C-alpha cells in the first residue's frame, strides 16, 4: 500500500507538471511573438463593404435582452448592409421584452428581425443554424446576451475578410463588472490569461485556436463548408472551430479589439459556466482528437490541440492530489529516507510556478500592473482548486457521458459601480456541494496534521487546497440557502412567465438523450 500511494502520488504530480510545462511553453511562445500586431492585409472601400448579420442568441435573459439589442442597433455600419437577428428561444418574459424592443427599433429604420423557435432543438447551435438560413449577410457576427458590443466593432473586424482565406476573426473579451467583487476579479484574471496569452500564442505561432462562442465574426460559407453548427457537444463553438481549421480556413485573433461582457456575479452561475466549458471541451476532444491526429497538419498543431482539448483532465488529477496529501505526509514520516520523495518539489514548482508567471504576465501586459496580479494570485489559485470537483465531474461526463443539454449562465445586467441586482433565475441545489464541503474538511485536517508534524514544505500547498474547497463550498451553500435570493422566485434556471410569440419552424429532430487549467 505504501508503494502504491507513493507511485500514484508521483504519477499525479507528474501529470499536473506536464500540463504546467505546456502552459510554460505557451507563455514562451507568447513572449516570442509579444510585439506582433495583427492587422488586415487590405481594407474594403466604403462602397464595397460586405453585408453583415449580427446574431444575438438568447434564452430567458430578461435582465439583459434590451441592453444587448439596443447596443447592437448602435453599431456604426451602413444601415443597408447591417442586419440584426434576435434569435430568441425564451420561455419567459424575455420574449415580450425582446419583441417590443425590436418593434421599436424597426420603427426607427433599423433592420432587426425577431425569430422565435417553439422548441430548443440544438440549443444555441440550433438557434444559430436556423438564423443562418435566414441571414442576409455573407458575414455573421455573434454576441451572447451578456455582451455589450461597441459601435465600432463590426468596422474593426470586417476588413480582415478582404483575405478570402479568412474564415473567422475573434475579438478579445473585456469585462463590464471586473471590479464588482473578489469573485469577478478572479474570473477576469482567469479569462485574461486565456485571451492575452493563450489565444495570442496559438494564433501567432501557427497553431489552431477556437472561436469563443461570441464576439467573433464568421464567413457564412466557412460554416457551411465545415459542416455547419452541430449540437452533439455543448461547446458548439470549439467543435466548429476545429472542423473549419481542418478544412484549411484561416482564423485570426485580434487582441487589441475587445468586446465587454458581464461576468457571473455569484458562485452558482460561475460554476455552471465552468461546468459547461469543461464538459464541452472533453466532448469535443472525444469527437475530434482522432480526426485531428490523422489530419495532414504539422505535429505542433496536433500537440497543441491535444493539450488544449484535454486540459480539463487536470482537475481530475487535482482531486487525486488533494486526497493523497495526507497519506503521503504520514508515509514520509515513516520512511527511513524521505528525501527520496523530494522529486515532488520540482513538479510542484512546474505546476504552480507556471500558473503564477502565466497570469501575472497576462495581467501586466493588459493593465500595466503586475503587483495587483501578485496580490490576487493566491485567491485565484485557490478558486481554481475549489472548482476541481465541479470541473472534474464535467470532464468525466464529457468523456464518458452522452448528455448534451445546454444550460446557460444567467445574467443580471450588472456593471462596475452597481450593487448586485436580484435575479429572477435561481439554480437548484448542486449535490456535489456536499463533496466540496467534505474536501474542505479533509484538507483542513490535512493542514492541521502538516502543522502539528512540522511538515512546513507542505503547508503552503495544503493551505491552498483547504482555502479553495472551503471558499467554493461555503459560498455555494450560502447561495443555495437563499441568503442572497428573495423568496418566491423561480426555482430553476429558465423558469418564468410564459409569453406567446411568433414561431420560427425548426427543421431538426429532437436531440438525443445524452480555463486555471481551461
Most confident of the ranges 119-123, 161-165, 426-430? 161-165
Q: What is the pLDDT of residue 485?
A: 44
Phi, then psi, of 7 in degrees rounded to 5: -65, -45
The cell numbers describing 471, all together, are 471558499
Q: What number is the average pLDDT over the span 144-169?
A: 98
Residue 456: per-residue pLDDT: 83
Check residue 134 and give its pLDDT.
95
- What number is the average pLDDT over the span 382-407? 89
* Whole-number average pLDDT of the chain: 89
Q: Which of 138, 143, 148 is nearest to 124 (CA)?
A: 143
Q: Give the HSE-up count for residue 159: Cα atoms under 13 Å, Cβ half-sphere.
A: 16
Predicted confidence band of residue 167 (pLDDT cuts 50, 70, 90):
very high
Residue 152, CB half-sphere, CA atoms under 13 Å: how many? 4
How sure is the predictor about 78, in pLDDT bands with cuts at 50, 70 and 90? Answer: very high
Residue 86 has a pLDDT of 98
Return the top range by mean pLDDT from 14-23, 166-175, 472-481.
Answer: 166-175
Catalytic choice (89, 144, 146, 239): 89
pLDDT reported for residue 495: 35
Place of cell 492541521: 448
Q: Per mean pLDDT, which range of 33-37, 327-331, 387-391 is the poorest?
A: 327-331
229, 235, 237, 240: CA torsion to nearest 10: -50
Smallest Cα–Cα separation from 223: which of 249, 184, 204?
249
pLDDT at 2: 81
Q: For the residues 157-184, what does the mean pLDDT come to?
A: 97
Query: Is 68:261 a contact under the CB 8 Å cutoff?
Result: no
Task: Give the model's pLDDT for residue 491.
Answer: 38
Q: Could you give the C-alpha distances from 24 to 14, 67, 267, 344, in angstroms and in order? A: 15, 39, 29, 18
Give pLDDT tens digits for 192-240: 999 999 999 999 999 999 999 999 999 999 999 999 999 999 999 999 9
**3-state SS class at 410:** coil
pLDDT (tens digit, 9 = 90+) per residue, 243-257? Answer: 999 999 999 999 999
Phi, psi of 96 (to 5 degrees): -65, -40
Query: What's the average model confidence in pLDDT over 305-316?
Result: 97
Known catalytic residue: 89? Answer: yes
CA–CA gap between residue 141 and residue 156 (Å, rounded) = 12
Average pLDDT rounded to a whole number, residues 366-383? 94
**How far, CA to CA in Å, does 251 sit from each of 56, 89, 245, 414?**
22, 29, 7, 32
The b/e string for 102-127 (b: 16+ C-beta within 10 A; e otherwise) is beebeeeebbbbbbbbeebbbbbbbb
Q: How many angstroms separate the CA atoms of 43 and 41, rounded? A: 7
The stretch 52-76 carries a mean pLDDT of 96
Q: What sign does the dihedral 241-245-251-255 (CA atoms) show? A: positive
The percentage of the chain sitting over the pLDDT mark of 70, rounded to a whole number, equals 87
Examine the pLDDT at 266 and tell me if it is beyond 70. yes
pLDDT value of position 271: 94
Grade residue 347 by pLDDT with cuts at 50, 70 and 90.
confident
CA angle (332 as vertex; 329, 334 as ends), nearest 5: 115
At 423-466, the pLDDT tens digits run 666 656 677 899 999 999 999 999 999 999 888 888 989 999 99
Residue in 146, 237, 266, 344 annotated catalytic: 237
| Per-residue pLDDT tens over the stretch 311-342 | 999 999 999 999 999 998 888 777 766 655 56
DSSP one-letter code for 456:
T
> What mean pLDDT comes out for the span 89-94?
93
Query: Catalytic annotation on 403?
Result: no
Quick check: 68 and 143 in contact, CB under 8 A? yes
What average pLDDT does this structure show over 93-120? Answer: 95
pLDDT for the residue 492 = 36
Q: What is the pLDDT of residues 16-26, one digit of tens each?
A: 999 999 999 99
pLDDT mean over 67-86: 97
The predicted structure's pLDDT at residue 339: 57
Cell of 15: 501529470
Residue 84, pLDDT score = 98
3-state secondary structure of 280: helix
Amino acid at each position: 500500500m505504501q508503494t502504491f500511494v507513493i507511485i500514484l502520488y508521483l504519477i499525479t504530480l507528474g501529470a499536473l507538471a506536464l500540463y504546467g510545462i505546456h502552459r510554460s511553453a505557451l507563455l514562451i511562445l507568447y513572449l516570442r511573438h509579444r510585439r506582433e500586431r495583427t492587422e488586415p492585409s487590405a481594407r474594403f472601400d466604403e462602397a464595397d463593404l460586405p453585408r453583415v448579420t449580427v446574431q444575438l442568441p438568447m434564452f430567458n435573459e430578461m435582465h439583459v435582452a434590451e441592453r444587448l439589442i439596443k447596443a447592437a442597433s448602435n453599431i456604426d455600419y451602413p444601415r443597408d448592409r447591417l442586419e440584426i437577428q434576435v434569435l430568441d428561444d425564451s420561455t419567459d418574459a424575455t420574449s415580450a421584452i425582446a419583441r417590443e424592443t425590436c418593434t421599436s427599433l424597426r420603427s426607427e429604420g433599423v433592420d432587426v428581425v425577431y425569430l422565435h423557435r417553439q422548441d430548443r432543438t440544438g440549443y444555441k447551435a440550433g438557434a444559430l443554424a436556423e438564423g443562418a438560413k435566414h441571414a442576409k449577410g455573407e458575414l455573421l457576427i455573434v454576441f451572447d446576451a451578456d455582451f455589450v458590443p461597441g459601435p465600432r466593432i463590426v468596422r474593426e473586424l470586417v476588413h480582415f475578410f478582404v483575405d478570402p482565406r479568412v474564415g473567422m476573426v475573434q475579438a478579445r473579451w473585456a469585462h463590464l463588472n471586473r471590479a464588482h467583487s473578489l469573485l469577478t476579479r478572479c474570473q477576469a484574471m482567469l479569462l485574461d490569461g486565456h485571451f492575452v496569452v493563450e489565444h495570442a500564442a496559438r494564433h501567432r505561432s501557427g497553431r489552431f485556436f477556437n472561436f469563443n462562442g461570441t464576439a467573433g465574426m464568421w464567413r457564412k460559407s466557412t460554416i457551411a463548408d465545415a459542416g455547419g453548427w452541430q449540437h452533439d457537444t455543448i461547446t458548439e463553438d470549439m467543435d466548429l472551430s476545429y472542423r473549419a481549421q481542418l478544412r484549411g480556413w484561416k482564423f485570426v485573433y485580434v487582441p487589441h479589439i475587445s468586446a465587454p461582457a458581464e461576468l457571473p456575479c455569484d458562485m452558482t452561475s460561475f460554476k455552471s459556466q465552468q461546468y459547461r466549458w469543461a464538459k464541452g471541451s472533453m466532448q469535443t476532444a472525444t469527437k475530434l482528437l482522432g480526426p485531428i491526429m490523422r489530419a495532414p497538419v504539422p505535429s505542433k498543431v496536433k500537440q497543441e490541440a491535444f493539450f488544449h482539448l484535454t486540459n480539463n483532465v487536470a482537475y481530475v488529477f487535482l482531486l487525486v492530489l488533494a486526497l493523497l496529501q495526507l497519506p503521503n505526509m504520514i508515509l514520509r514520516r515513516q520512511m527511513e529516507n524521505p528525501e527520496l520523495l523530494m522529486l515532488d518539489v520540482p513538479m510542484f514548482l512546474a505546476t504552480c510556478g507556471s500558473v503564477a508567471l502565466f497570469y501575472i504576465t497576462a495581467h501586466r501586459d493588459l493593465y500595466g500592473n503586475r503587483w495587483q496580479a501578485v496580490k490576487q494570485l493566491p485567491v485565484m489559485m485557490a478558486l481554481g482548486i475549489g472548482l476541481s470537483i465541479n470541473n472534474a465531474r464535467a470532464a468525466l461526463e464529457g468523456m464518458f457521458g452522452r448528455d448534451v443539454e445546454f444550460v446557460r449562465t444567467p445574467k443580471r445586467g450588472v456593471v462596475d459601480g452597481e450593487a448586485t441586482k436580484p435575479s429572477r433565475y435561481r439554480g437548484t441545489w448542486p449535490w456535489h456541494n456536499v463533496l466540496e464541503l467534505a474536501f474542505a474538511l479533509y484538507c483542513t485536517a490535512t493542514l492541521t496534521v502538516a502543522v502539528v508534524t512540522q511538515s512546513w514544505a507542505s503547508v503552503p500547498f495544503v493551505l491552498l487546497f483547504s482555502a479553495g474547497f472551503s471558499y467554493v463550498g461555503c459560498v455555494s451553500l450560502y447561495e443555495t440557502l437563499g441568503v442572497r435570493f428573495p423568496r418566491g422566485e423561480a426555482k430553476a434556471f429558465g423558469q418564468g412567465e410564459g409569453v406567446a410569440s411568433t414561431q420560427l419552424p425548426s427543421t431538426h429532430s429532437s436531440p438525443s438523450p445524452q480555463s486555471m487549467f481551461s
